[in-house]
Amino acid sequence: EVCAGGGGMKIISRGQAPDLNPIRFECMHCKTVFEATRQEATFVPDQRDGNFWQIACPVCARLVTKDAK
């Protein structure tokens, strides 16, 4: 597959942009497992305990977090 910009660049194996890869969450309150994109979740920087993602559970609305590693 040749890139849109032309030239000699050739894609050998097409990946997916990191911001499109879903993040899997599990609510500890209602046990719902769901996926969300990085646009839907909120990135929370935390120097002490480590960065994490945060989003409201779609079933019970409690905040669910996931380590950003």
pLDDT tens digit sequence for 26-65: 999 999 999 999 999 999 999 999 999 999 999 999 999 9
- Read off the amino acid at residue 38: R
Higher pLDDT, 10 or 29: 29
Rounded distance between C-alpha atoms, residue 41 and residue 25, angstroms: 10
- CB contact at 8 A, 35 and 24: yes
